[in-house]
Amino acid sequence: MILNTGARTDTVQYFSEWLLRRFEEGYVYTRNPLFPGKVTRYELSPDKIDAVLFCSKNYAPILPRLREITDSYRTYFHYTITAYGKDVEPGVPSVDESIKTLIELEKIVGKGKIAWRYDPVLLTEDYTIARHLDRFAYMAEKLAPYIDRCIFSFVEMYKKLKANMPELIPLTPADKDRLADGLGAIADRYGIRLQTCGTNGSYSRYGIQSSGCATLEILGKANGCQFKELKHKGLREGCHCIESRDIGAYDTCLNGCKYCYANQTPEKAWENYRLHDPDSPLLLGHLKEDDILTEGSQKSFLVAQSRQSTLFDGG
Q: Tens of pLDDT along 62-101?
A: 999 999 999 999 999 999 999 999 999 999 999 999 999 9
Q: In terms of DSSP H, where are the helices of the chain?
A: 11-14, 16-25, 67-70, 95-109, 129-143, 159-164, 173-189, 216-223, 266-273, 304-308
* Cα–Cα distance measured from residue 154 to residue 303, given in angstroms and rounded to the nearest whole number: 35
**Per-residue pLDDT, 161:** 84
Question: Exposed, middle or buried by CB within 10 Å (0-12, 13-18, 19+), for 115?
Answer: buried
Average pLDDT over residues 131-136: 98
Average pLDDT over residues 135-162: 93
- pTM for the model: 0.93
**Per-residue pLDDT, 233:** 65
Q: Which of 13-17, 39-43, 99-103, 208-212 has the lowest mean pLDDT?
A: 208-212
pLDDT digits (tens, 9 = 90+) for 169-195: 999 999 999 999 999 999 999 999 999
Q: Which of 131-135, 158-162, 251-255 has the lowest mean pLDDT?
A: 158-162
* Cα–Cα distance measured from residue 26 to residue 68, given in angstroms and rounded to the nearest whole number: 12
In three-state secondary structure terms, 295 is strand
pLDDT digits (tens, 9 = 90+) for 213-248: 888 999 999 999 999 987 766 555 556 678 899 999
**Per-residue pLDDT, 169:** 95
H/E stretch holding 55: strand 51-56
Report yes or no: 291 and 39 within 8 Å, Cβ to Cβ. Answer: yes
- Other CB atoms within 10 Å distance of the CB of residue 176: 16
Q: Which of 37-41, 132-136, 152-156, 211-215 has the lowest mean pLDDT?
A: 211-215
